Structure 1
Amino acid sequence: MVRVTVWNEFLHEKEHEEVRQVYPNGIHNALAEGIRTEEIVVQTATLEEPEHGLTEEKLNNTDVLIWWGHMGHERVEDAIVERVHQRVMDGMGLIVLHSGHFSKIFKKLMGTGCDLKWREAGEKERIWTVNPAHPIAAGIPEYVTLEHEEMYGEHFDIPAPDELVFVSWFEGGEVFRSGCTFFRGQGKVFYFRPGHETYPTYYNKEVLQIIRNGVNWAAPSGAAKPVRGNHQPLEPIKGNA
Protein backbone atom coordinates (compact mmCIF):
# COMPACT_ATOMS: atom_id res chain seq x y z
CA MET A 1 0.00 0.00 0.00
CA VAL A 2 1.25 3.48 -0.91
CA ARG A 3 -0.01 6.46 1.11
CA VAL A 4 -0.43 9.54 -1.09
CA THR A 5 -1.22 13.15 -0.21
CA VAL A 6 -2.42 15.36 -3.08
CA TRP A 7 -1.64 19.03 -2.37
CA ASN A 8 -3.37 21.80 -4.32
CA GLU A 9 -3.58 25.54 -3.76
CA PHE A 10 -7.36 25.36 -4.35
CA LEU A 11 -7.43 29.03 -5.32
CA HIS A 12 -8.31 29.04 -9.03
CA GLU A 13 -11.37 26.90 -8.42
CA LYS A 14 -12.67 29.40 -5.83
CA GLU A 15 -11.92 32.54 -7.84
CA HIS A 16 -12.48 31.59 -11.49
CA GLU A 17 -15.75 30.20 -12.79
CA GLU A 18 -14.00 28.79 -15.88
CA VAL A 19 -11.84 26.59 -13.66
CA ARG A 20 -14.72 25.67 -11.35
CA GLN A 21 -16.65 24.39 -14.34
CA VAL A 22 -13.82 21.95 -15.14
CA TYR A 23 -12.92 20.97 -11.56
CA PRO A 24 -16.00 21.68 -9.40
CA ASN A 25 -14.54 19.81 -6.43
CA GLY A 26 -10.99 21.07 -6.94
CA ILE A 27 -8.01 19.73 -8.86
CA HIS A 28 -6.90 17.86 -5.74
CA ASN A 29 -10.10 15.84 -5.53
CA ALA A 30 -10.10 15.10 -9.26
CA LEU A 31 -6.55 13.77 -8.95
CA ALA A 32 -7.35 11.82 -5.80
CA GLU A 33 -10.34 10.14 -7.42
CA GLY A 34 -8.39 9.47 -10.61
CA ILE A 35 -5.40 7.71 -9.05
CA ARG A 36 -6.99 5.95 -6.07
CA THR A 37 -6.81 2.14 -6.15
CA GLU A 38 -6.81 -0.66 -3.59
CA GLU A 39 -3.02 -0.23 -3.43
CA ILE A 40 -2.94 3.61 -3.45
CA VAL A 41 -4.59 5.32 -0.47
CA VAL A 42 -5.14 9.04 -1.05
CA GLN A 43 -5.76 12.05 1.17
CA THR A 44 -5.70 15.74 0.23
CA ALA A 45 -4.35 19.03 1.56
CA THR A 46 -4.76 22.65 0.43
CA LEU A 47 -3.01 25.99 0.86
CA GLU A 48 -5.50 27.68 3.17
CA GLU A 49 -5.66 24.88 5.72
CA PRO A 50 -3.59 25.34 8.91
CA GLU A 51 0.07 24.64 8.06
CA HIS A 52 -1.17 24.34 4.45
CA GLY A 53 -2.53 20.94 5.41
CA LEU A 54 1.01 19.61 5.64
CA THR A 55 1.43 19.01 9.33
CA GLU A 56 4.32 16.89 10.56
CA GLU A 57 1.86 14.11 11.36
CA LYS A 58 0.37 14.14 7.87
CA LEU A 59 3.75 14.22 6.14
CA ASN A 60 5.07 11.44 8.37
CA ASN A 61 2.15 9.35 7.12
CA THR A 62 2.76 10.23 3.46
CA ASP A 63 4.82 8.03 1.16
CA VAL A 64 4.36 10.24 -1.92
CA LEU A 65 3.32 13.90 -2.04
CA ILE A 66 1.74 15.24 -5.25
CA TRP A 67 2.04 19.03 -5.68
CA TRP A 68 -0.07 21.35 -7.86
CA GLY A 69 0.45 25.09 -7.50
CA HIS A 70 0.25 28.24 -9.61
CA MET A 71 -1.00 31.57 -8.27
CA GLY A 72 -0.04 31.09 -4.62
CA HIS A 73 3.59 29.97 -4.73
CA GLU A 74 4.78 32.86 -2.53
CA ARG A 75 2.06 32.20 0.04
CA VAL A 76 3.62 28.86 0.98
CA GLU A 77 5.45 29.38 4.25
CA ASP A 78 9.19 28.74 4.18
CA ALA A 79 8.94 26.57 7.31
CA ILE A 80 6.55 24.22 5.49
CA VAL A 81 8.89 24.13 2.48
CA GLU A 82 11.72 23.11 4.80
CA ARG A 83 9.51 20.43 6.35
CA VAL A 84 8.64 18.95 2.95
CA HIS A 85 12.25 19.19 1.78
CA GLN A 86 13.47 17.23 4.80
CA ARG A 87 10.87 14.53 4.22
CA VAL A 88 12.01 14.19 0.60
CA MET A 89 15.62 13.94 1.69
CA ASP A 90 14.57 11.24 4.17
CA GLY A 91 12.82 9.21 1.46
CA MET A 92 9.34 10.59 0.75
CA GLY A 93 8.53 10.71 -2.97
CA LEU A 94 7.46 13.99 -4.60
CA ILE A 95 5.50 14.43 -7.84
CA VAL A 96 5.39 18.01 -9.10
CA LEU A 97 2.73 18.78 -11.69
CA HIS A 98 2.48 21.49 -14.37
CA SER A 99 2.94 25.00 -12.92
CA GLY A 100 4.39 23.50 -9.76
CA HIS A 101 7.71 24.00 -11.58
CA PHE A 102 7.76 27.46 -9.96
CA SER A 103 6.91 26.21 -6.47
CA LYS A 104 9.33 26.94 -3.67
CA ILE A 105 9.87 23.25 -2.97
CA PHE A 106 10.70 22.35 -6.58
CA LYS A 107 13.11 25.28 -6.99
CA LYS A 108 14.79 24.37 -3.70
CA LEU A 109 15.25 20.76 -4.78
CA MET A 110 16.49 21.74 -8.26
CA GLY A 111 18.75 24.62 -7.17
CA THR A 112 17.85 26.56 -10.34
CA GLY A 113 15.28 29.14 -11.45
CA CYS A 114 13.04 26.55 -13.18
CA ASP A 115 11.80 29.13 -15.73
CA LEU A 116 10.55 28.26 -19.23
CA LYS A 117 8.63 29.54 -22.25
CA TRP A 118 4.83 29.43 -22.05
CA ARG A 119 1.77 30.27 -24.12
CA GLU A 120 -1.91 29.78 -23.28
CA ALA A 121 -3.55 29.14 -26.67
CA GLY A 122 -5.38 25.85 -26.16
CA GLU A 123 -3.16 24.04 -28.64
CA LYS A 124 -2.47 20.37 -29.22
CA GLU A 125 0.20 18.67 -27.11
CA ARG A 126 1.72 15.34 -28.08
CA ILE A 127 3.60 13.67 -25.24
CA TRP A 128 6.18 11.24 -26.62
CA THR A 129 7.42 8.30 -24.54
CA VAL A 130 11.19 8.50 -24.97
CA ASN A 131 12.10 5.95 -22.29
CA PRO A 132 9.58 3.11 -22.78
CA ALA A 133 11.47 0.78 -20.42
CA HIS A 134 10.98 3.14 -17.46
CA PRO A 135 8.42 2.07 -14.82
CA ILE A 136 6.61 5.41 -15.14
CA ALA A 137 5.92 4.58 -18.80
CA ALA A 138 4.35 1.18 -18.03
CA GLY A 139 1.19 0.69 -20.07
CA ILE A 140 1.60 4.03 -21.86
CA PRO A 141 1.52 4.13 -25.69
CA GLU A 142 4.23 5.58 -27.91
CA TYR A 143 2.58 8.97 -27.53
CA VAL A 144 -0.36 10.59 -25.77
CA THR A 145 -2.27 13.40 -27.48
CA LEU A 146 -3.99 16.18 -25.55
CA GLU A 147 -6.15 18.26 -27.89
CA HIS A 148 -5.97 21.41 -25.75
CA GLU A 149 -3.22 22.39 -23.34
CA GLU A 150 -1.01 25.28 -22.30
CA MET A 151 2.35 25.31 -24.05
CA TYR A 152 5.58 25.00 -22.09
CA GLY A 153 8.74 25.29 -24.17
CA GLU A 154 12.48 24.94 -23.84
CA HIS A 155 14.74 26.05 -22.48
CA PHE A 156 13.50 24.64 -19.15
CA ASP A 157 15.94 25.91 -16.48
CA ILE A 158 16.41 22.70 -14.50
CA PRO A 159 19.45 20.49 -13.89
CA ALA A 160 19.89 17.70 -16.41
CA PRO A 161 17.30 15.09 -15.33
CA ASP A 162 18.60 11.84 -13.91
CA GLU A 163 16.09 10.19 -16.25
CA LEU A 164 14.03 11.63 -19.10
CA VAL A 165 10.81 9.69 -19.64
CA PHE A 166 8.60 11.99 -21.76
CA VAL A 167 9.13 14.83 -24.24
CA SER A 168 6.27 17.03 -25.46
CA TRP A 169 5.71 18.62 -28.86
CA PHE A 170 3.23 21.46 -29.28
CA GLU A 171 1.15 22.56 -32.23
CA GLY A 172 2.99 25.89 -32.31
CA GLY A 173 6.29 24.10 -32.82
CA GLU A 174 7.96 24.05 -29.39
CA VAL A 175 9.26 21.00 -27.54
CA PHE A 176 9.63 20.43 -23.79
CA ARG A 177 11.12 17.89 -21.38
CA SER A 178 7.76 17.00 -19.89
CA GLY A 179 8.55 13.92 -17.79
CA CYS A 180 11.74 14.16 -15.72
CA THR A 181 13.00 12.26 -12.69
CA PHE A 182 15.54 13.31 -10.09
CA PHE A 183 17.08 11.66 -7.04
CA ARG A 184 17.53 13.85 -3.97
CA GLY A 185 18.88 12.32 -0.77
CA GLN A 186 16.85 9.15 -0.24
CA GLY A 187 13.88 10.64 -2.08
CA LYS A 188 12.71 10.46 -5.69
CA VAL A 189 11.18 13.39 -7.58
CA PHE A 190 9.07 13.20 -10.74
CA TYR A 191 8.13 16.36 -12.65
CA PHE A 192 5.23 15.90 -15.09
CA ARG A 193 4.18 18.83 -17.28
CA PRO A 194 0.46 18.57 -18.28
CA GLY A 195 -2.36 20.00 -16.19
CA HIS A 196 -3.38 23.59 -16.96
CA GLU A 197 -6.36 24.44 -14.78
CA THR A 198 -8.81 25.39 -17.56
CA TYR A 199 -8.52 22.06 -19.41
CA PRO A 200 -9.80 18.62 -18.30
CA THR A 201 -6.34 17.07 -18.45
CA TYR A 202 -6.67 15.31 -15.09
CA TYR A 203 -9.57 13.23 -16.37
CA ASN A 204 -7.45 11.79 -19.19
CA LYS A 205 -6.86 8.08 -18.55
CA GLU A 206 -3.26 8.04 -19.85
CA VAL A 207 -2.32 11.13 -17.82
CA LEU A 208 -3.78 9.53 -14.69
CA GLN A 209 -1.96 6.27 -15.45
CA ILE A 210 1.33 8.14 -15.74
CA ILE A 211 0.74 9.84 -12.38
CA ARG A 212 -0.26 6.50 -10.84
CA ASN A 213 2.91 4.93 -12.24
CA GLY A 214 4.85 7.88 -10.84
CA VAL A 215 3.41 7.23 -7.40
CA ASN A 216 4.56 3.61 -7.45
CA TRP A 217 8.00 4.63 -8.74
CA ALA A 218 8.49 7.43 -6.20
CA ALA A 219 7.36 5.45 -3.15
CA PRO A 220 10.11 4.97 -0.55
CA SER A 221 12.47 2.10 -1.28
CA GLY A 222 12.75 1.00 2.33
CA ALA A 223 16.55 1.08 2.23
CA ALA A 224 18.40 1.72 5.48
CA LYS A 225 19.11 5.36 6.26
CA PRO A 226 22.73 6.23 5.42
CA VAL A 227 25.10 6.84 8.31
CA ARG A 228 27.26 9.94 7.93
CA GLY A 229 29.85 11.83 9.92
CA ASN A 230 32.87 10.49 11.79
CA HIS A 231 32.78 6.71 11.69
CA GLN A 232 34.65 3.91 13.46
CA PRO A 233 36.22 1.26 11.20
CA LEU A 234 34.26 -1.91 10.57
CA GLU A 235 37.45 -3.96 10.32
CA PRO A 236 40.80 -3.63 12.13
CA ILE A 237 43.12 -1.16 10.42
CA LYS A 238 46.59 -2.70 10.28
CA GLY A 239 48.27 0.68 10.14
CA ASN A 240 46.96 1.46 13.62
CA ALA A 241 48.12 -1.82 15.17
Structure 2
Amino acid sequence: MNSPIRVTVWGENYHERSERDRDAMAERYPEGMHGAIAAGLTRVLGDRVEVRTATQDQPEHGLTDEVLDSTDVITWWGHATHGDVDDAVVEKVHQRVLGGMGILVLHSAHFSKIFKKLMGTTCSLQWRNAADTELVWTVSPSHPIAQGVPHPIVIDEQEMYGEYFDIPQPDEQVFLSTFTGGEVFRSGCCYRRGKGRVFYFSPGDQDYPVYHHPDIQRVLANAVRWAAPEDNADFVAPAVVDMPAPRFDRGNA
Protein backbone atom coordinates (compact mmCIF):
# COMPACT_ATOMS: atom_id res chain seq x y z
CA MET A 1 0.00 0.00 0.00
CA ASN A 2 1.22 3.50 -0.83
CA SER A 3 -0.75 5.22 1.94
CA PRO A 4 -0.25 4.30 5.63
CA ILE A 5 -1.81 1.01 6.69
CA ARG A 6 -4.73 1.73 9.02
CA VAL A 7 -4.41 -0.68 11.94
CA THR A 8 -6.90 -1.22 14.74
CA VAL A 9 -5.39 -3.05 17.72
CA TRP A 10 -8.28 -4.77 19.50
CA GLY A 11 -7.93 -6.01 23.04
CA GLU A 12 -10.22 -7.78 25.46
CA ASN A 13 -8.93 -5.50 28.26
CA TYR A 14 -10.16 -7.89 30.94
CA HIS A 15 -6.96 -8.75 32.79
CA GLU A 16 -5.97 -5.08 32.87
CA ARG A 17 -9.17 -4.30 34.83
CA SER A 18 -9.74 -7.44 36.91
CA GLU A 19 -9.11 -7.21 40.65
CA ARG A 20 -6.93 -10.32 40.59
CA ASP A 21 -4.65 -9.28 37.72
CA ARG A 22 -4.62 -5.50 37.43
CA ASP A 23 -1.62 -4.75 39.69
CA ALA A 24 0.64 -7.24 37.91
CA MET A 25 -0.70 -6.17 34.53
CA ALA A 26 0.05 -2.54 35.37
CA GLU A 27 3.69 -3.51 35.91
CA ARG A 28 3.98 -5.55 32.72
CA TYR A 29 1.72 -3.48 30.52
CA PRO A 30 1.08 -0.02 32.00
CA GLU A 31 -0.72 1.01 28.78
CA GLY A 32 -2.51 -2.33 28.49
CA MET A 33 -1.57 -5.21 26.21
CA HIS A 34 -3.30 -3.42 23.35
CA GLY A 35 -1.21 -0.35 24.10
CA ALA A 36 2.02 -2.36 24.00
CA ILE A 37 1.09 -3.99 20.69
CA ALA A 38 0.18 -0.60 19.21
CA ALA A 39 3.43 0.94 20.45
CA GLY A 40 5.46 -1.90 18.97
CA LEU A 41 3.85 -1.50 15.55
CA THR A 42 4.52 2.22 15.62
CA ARG A 43 8.12 1.69 16.73
CA VAL A 44 8.89 -0.72 13.90
CA LEU A 45 6.80 0.75 11.08
CA GLY A 46 6.74 4.45 11.92
CA ASP A 47 4.74 6.54 9.45
CA ARG A 48 3.95 3.45 7.36
CA VAL A 49 1.05 2.80 9.76
CA GLU A 50 -1.75 4.68 11.46
CA VAL A 51 -2.51 2.79 14.67
CA ARG A 52 -5.43 3.08 17.06
CA THR A 53 -6.75 0.82 19.79
CA ALA A 54 -10.21 -0.52 20.61
CA THR A 55 -11.34 -2.60 23.57
CA GLN A 56 -14.18 -4.94 24.39
CA ASP A 57 -15.55 -2.73 27.17
CA GLN A 58 -16.25 0.15 24.77
CA PRO A 59 -19.64 0.59 23.04
CA GLU A 60 -19.92 -1.96 20.21
CA HIS A 61 -16.62 -3.30 21.57
CA GLY A 62 -14.94 -0.29 19.97
CA LEU A 63 -15.68 -1.70 16.51
CA THR A 64 -18.31 0.64 15.15
CA ASP A 65 -19.06 0.78 11.45
CA GLU A 66 -16.95 3.93 11.24
CA VAL A 67 -13.95 2.19 12.83
CA LEU A 68 -14.22 -0.95 10.71
CA ASP A 69 -14.76 1.06 7.53
CA SER A 70 -11.42 2.77 8.17
CA THR A 71 -9.44 -0.34 9.16
CA ASP A 72 -7.09 -2.16 6.79
CA VAL A 73 -5.74 -4.63 9.35
CA ILE A 74 -7.08 -5.57 12.77
CA THR A 75 -5.15 -7.38 15.50
CA TRP A 76 -7.27 -9.41 17.94
CA TRP A 77 -6.27 -10.49 21.46
CA GLY A 78 -8.76 -12.15 23.80
CA HIS A 79 -8.75 -14.76 26.54
CA ALA A 80 -11.27 -14.72 29.38
CA THR A 81 -14.44 -13.28 27.86
CA HIS A 82 -14.72 -14.68 24.34
CA GLY A 83 -18.37 -15.57 24.96
CA ASP A 84 -19.26 -11.98 25.82
CA VAL A 85 -18.30 -10.66 22.39
CA ASP A 86 -21.46 -9.69 20.55
CA ASP A 87 -22.24 -12.00 17.63
CA ALA A 88 -23.33 -9.01 15.53
CA VAL A 89 -19.88 -7.43 15.93
CA VAL A 90 -18.21 -10.74 15.06
CA GLU A 91 -20.31 -10.95 11.90
CA LYS A 92 -19.31 -7.43 10.88
CA VAL A 93 -15.63 -8.23 11.36
CA HIS A 94 -16.07 -11.51 9.48
CA GLN A 95 -17.65 -9.77 6.49
CA ARG A 96 -14.94 -7.14 6.51
CA VAL A 97 -12.24 -9.85 6.44
CA LEU A 98 -13.97 -11.66 3.57
CA GLY A 99 -14.02 -8.32 1.77
CA GLY A 100 -10.29 -7.75 2.12
CA MET A 101 -9.38 -6.58 5.64
CA GLY A 102 -6.41 -8.39 7.15
CA ILE A 103 -6.60 -9.89 10.63
CA LEU A 104 -3.87 -10.97 13.07
CA VAL A 105 -5.22 -13.39 15.68
CA LEU A 106 -2.98 -13.47 18.74
CA HIS A 107 -2.28 -16.12 21.38
CA SER A 108 -5.43 -17.19 23.27
CA ALA A 109 -7.63 -15.58 20.64
CA HIS A 110 -7.40 -18.99 18.98
CA PHE A 111 -10.66 -19.54 20.93
CA SER A 112 -12.22 -16.26 19.87
CA LYS A 113 -15.51 -16.30 18.02
CA ILE A 114 -13.99 -14.60 14.99
CA PHE A 115 -11.12 -17.09 14.62
CA LYS A 116 -13.35 -20.14 15.04
CA LYS A 117 -15.74 -18.65 12.49
CA LEU A 118 -12.91 -18.10 10.03
CA MET A 119 -11.42 -21.57 10.60
CA GLY A 120 -14.60 -23.64 10.92
CA THR A 121 -13.00 -25.92 13.55
CA THR A 122 -12.82 -26.09 17.35
CA CYS A 123 -9.34 -24.44 17.40
CA SER A 124 -8.59 -26.44 20.57
CA LEU A 125 -5.06 -27.23 21.76
CA GLN A 126 -2.95 -28.37 24.72
CA TRP A 127 -1.51 -25.87 27.18
CA ARG A 128 0.55 -25.49 30.36
CA ASN A 129 1.28 -22.22 32.12
CA ALA A 130 4.60 -22.88 33.84
CA ALA A 131 6.99 -20.20 32.51
CA ASP A 132 8.39 -22.48 29.81
CA THR A 133 11.09 -21.26 27.47
CA GLU A 134 9.71 -21.01 23.94
CA LEU A 135 11.84 -21.17 20.82
CA VAL A 136 10.06 -19.85 17.72
CA TRP A 137 11.65 -21.47 14.66
CA THR A 138 11.24 -20.08 11.15
CA VAL A 139 10.13 -22.81 8.77
CA SER A 140 9.54 -20.54 5.76
CA PRO A 141 12.55 -18.20 5.64
CA SER A 142 11.53 -16.53 2.37
CA HIS A 143 8.09 -15.54 3.69
CA PRO A 144 7.56 -11.77 4.15
CA ILE A 145 6.52 -12.26 7.78
CA ALA A 146 9.89 -13.91 8.53
CA GLN A 147 12.04 -11.10 7.15
CA GLY A 148 14.57 -9.80 9.69
CA VAL A 149 13.44 -12.33 12.30
CA PRO A 150 16.16 -14.36 14.11
CA HIS A 151 16.15 -18.17 13.91
CA PRO A 152 14.99 -18.93 16.51
CA ILE A 153 13.28 -16.21 18.50
CA VAL A 154 13.99 -16.96 22.16
CA ILE A 155 11.22 -16.19 24.66
CA ASP A 156 12.55 -16.89 28.14
CA GLU A 157 9.15 -17.35 29.80
CA GLN A 158 5.86 -18.09 28.10
CA GLU A 159 2.75 -20.24 28.39
CA MET A 160 3.15 -23.54 26.56
CA TYR A 161 0.84 -24.30 23.64
CA GLY A 162 1.10 -27.79 22.18
CA GLU A 163 -0.30 -30.04 19.50
CA TYR A 164 -2.78 -31.22 18.52
CA PHE A 165 -3.99 -27.78 17.39
CA ASP A 166 -7.39 -28.25 15.70
CA ILE A 167 -7.08 -25.84 12.79
CA PRO A 168 -7.29 -26.38 9.03
CA GLN A 169 -4.04 -27.04 7.23
CA PRO A 170 -2.43 -23.59 6.92
CA ASP A 171 -2.03 -22.12 3.46
CA GLU A 172 1.47 -21.16 4.60
CA GLN A 173 3.31 -22.23 7.75
CA VAL A 174 5.81 -19.58 8.83
CA PHE A 175 6.78 -20.50 12.42
CA LEU A 176 6.94 -23.63 14.57
CA SER A 177 7.57 -23.40 18.32
CA THR A 178 9.24 -25.81 20.70
CA PHE A 179 9.05 -25.72 24.51
CA THR A 180 10.94 -26.84 27.60
CA GLY A 181 8.88 -30.03 27.88
CA GLY A 182 9.64 -31.06 24.29
CA GLU A 183 6.26 -29.98 22.91
CA VAL A 184 5.89 -28.52 19.44
CA PHE A 185 3.26 -26.10 18.17
CA ARG A 186 2.33 -24.53 14.85
CA SER A 187 2.77 -20.99 16.14
CA GLY A 188 2.66 -18.92 12.95
CA CYS A 189 -0.02 -19.82 10.39
CA CYS A 190 -1.29 -17.96 7.32
CA TYR A 191 -4.68 -18.30 5.67
CA ARG A 192 -6.73 -16.60 3.01
CA ARG A 193 -10.43 -16.21 3.59
CA GLY A 194 -12.43 -14.58 0.82
CA LYS A 195 -10.35 -11.54 -0.19
CA GLY A 196 -8.73 -11.20 3.24
CA ARG A 197 -5.56 -12.53 4.80
CA VAL A 198 -5.42 -14.16 8.25
CA PHE A 199 -2.30 -14.68 10.40
CA TYR A 200 -2.40 -16.60 13.67
CA PHE A 201 0.59 -16.04 15.98
CA SER A 202 0.68 -17.74 19.36
CA PRO A 203 3.31 -16.01 21.57
CA GLY A 204 1.76 -13.46 23.94
CA ASP A 205 0.25 -14.68 27.21
CA GLN A 206 -0.91 -12.01 29.64
CA ASP A 207 1.33 -13.34 32.44
CA TYR A 208 4.55 -12.48 30.58
CA PRO A 209 5.85 -9.28 28.91
CA VAL A 210 6.07 -10.91 25.47
CA TYR A 211 4.72 -7.95 23.48
CA HIS A 212 7.69 -5.84 24.59
CA HIS A 213 10.05 -8.37 22.94
CA PRO A 214 11.61 -6.64 19.90
CA ASP A 215 11.57 -9.80 17.78
CA ILE A 216 7.87 -10.36 18.51
CA GLN A 217 7.22 -6.73 17.58
CA ARG A 218 9.05 -7.35 14.30
CA VAL A 219 6.89 -10.39 13.52
CA LEU A 220 3.68 -8.44 14.16
CA ALA A 221 4.89 -5.50 12.06
CA ASN A 222 5.81 -7.82 9.18
CA ALA A 223 2.44 -9.55 9.52
CA VAL A 224 0.56 -6.25 9.34
CA ARG A 225 2.32 -5.42 6.08
CA TRP A 226 1.63 -8.92 4.71
CA ALA A 227 -2.05 -8.83 5.69
CA ALA A 228 -2.69 -5.33 4.36
CA PRO A 229 -5.15 -5.22 1.45
CA GLU A 230 -4.22 -4.06 -2.01
CA ASP A 231 -4.77 -0.39 -2.81
CA ASN A 232 -7.76 -1.26 -4.99
CA ALA A 233 -9.52 -3.36 -2.31
CA ASP A 234 -13.27 -2.74 -2.20
CA PHE A 235 -13.90 -4.56 1.14
CA VAL A 236 -17.00 -6.21 -0.32
CA ALA A 237 -17.32 -9.89 0.53
CA PRO A 238 -17.74 -12.23 -2.44
CA ALA A 239 -21.38 -12.95 -3.21
CA VAL A 240 -23.55 -14.98 -5.58
CA VAL A 241 -23.85 -13.25 -8.96
CA ASP A 242 -26.73 -13.74 -11.40
CA MET A 243 -24.81 -13.67 -14.65
CA PRO A 244 -26.42 -12.42 -17.89
CA ALA A 245 -26.53 -14.55 -21.02
CA PRO A 246 -23.15 -15.06 -22.74
CA ARG A 247 -22.10 -12.20 -24.96
CA PHE A 248 -20.92 -14.60 -27.64
CA ASP A 249 -22.14 -17.98 -28.77
CA ARG A 250 -20.69 -20.45 -31.21
CA GLY A 251 -22.90 -19.26 -34.04
CA ASN A 252 -21.52 -15.73 -33.80
CA ALA A 253 -17.92 -16.58 -32.94
TM-score category (smaller protein): over 0.9
Q: Deviations over 1:71-91 (max 9, x none)?
A: 010110000000000000000
Equivalent residue runs for 1:117-128 within 5 Å: 117-128=126-137
Opposite residue 25 of structure 2, the aligned amino acid is: V
| Superposition CA RMSD, Å | 1.5
Identify unmatched segments of 5+ residues in structure 2: none
The reply to whether residue 30 of structure 1 matches residue 36 of structure 2 is: yes
Assess, with a 3 A threshold, how the Cα gap between structure 1 residues 135 and 64 changes in structure 2: closer, same or farther.
Answer: same
Alignment check: 8 A CA contact 2:100 2:233 kept = no
C-alpha distance in structure 2 between counterparts of 1:18 and 1:138, whole Å: 33
Opposite residue 30 of structure 2, the aligned amino acid is: P
Pick one of 13, 23, 48 that aligns with 2:16: 13
Match in the other structure for 2:243: 231
Instruction: Using the aligned pairs only, state the percent identity.
Output: 53
Pick one of 115, 124, 128 that aligns with 2:124: 115
Cα offset for 1:25?
1.4
Cα offset for 1:224?
6.0
Pick one of 94, 111, 121 that aligns with 1:85: 94
Partner-residue secondary structure (3-state), 2:223: helix
C-alpha distance in structure 1 between counterparts of 2:223 and 2:245, whole Å: 39
Cα offset for 1:19?
2.2
Match in the other structure for 1:148: 157
Which stretches of structure 1, 4 residues or more, deviate above 6 A after TM superposition?
none
C-alpha distance in structure 2 between counterparts of 1:76 and 1:224, whole Å: 27
Cα offset for 1:231?
1.5
Cα offset for 1:233?
5.5
Pick one of 175, 178, 181 that aligns with 2:187: 178
Cα offset for 1:235?
4.2
Opposite residue 147 of structure 1, the aligned amino acid is: D
Assess, with a 3 A threshold, how the Cα gap between structure 1 residues 124 and 221 changes in structure 2: closer, same or farther.
Answer: same
Alignment check: 8 A CA contact 1:131 1:164 kept = yes
C-alpha distance in structure 2 between counterparts of 1:234 and 1:34, whole Å: 52
Q: Deviations over 1:88-130 (max 9, x none)?
A: 0000000000000000000000000000000000010000000
TM-score, normalising length: structure 2: 0.92
Alignment check: 8 A CA contact 1:14 1:20 kept = no
Alignment check: 8 A CA contact 1:146 1:201 kept = yes
C-alpha distance in structure 2 between counterparts of 1:63 and 1:156, whole Å: 28
Deviates more, 1:222-231 or 1:19-28: 222-231
Alignment check: 8 A CA contact 1:97 1:195 kept = yes
C-alpha distance in structure 1 between counterparts of 2:120 and 2:252, whole Å: 42
C-alpha distance in structure 2 between counterparts of 1:19 and 1:43, whole Å: 20
TM-score, normalising length: structure 1: 0.96
Cα offset for 1:222?
3.7
C-alpha distance in structure 1 between counterparts of 2:239 and 2:82, whole Å: 34
C-alpha distance in structure 2 between counterparts of 1:152 and 1:97, whole Å: 12
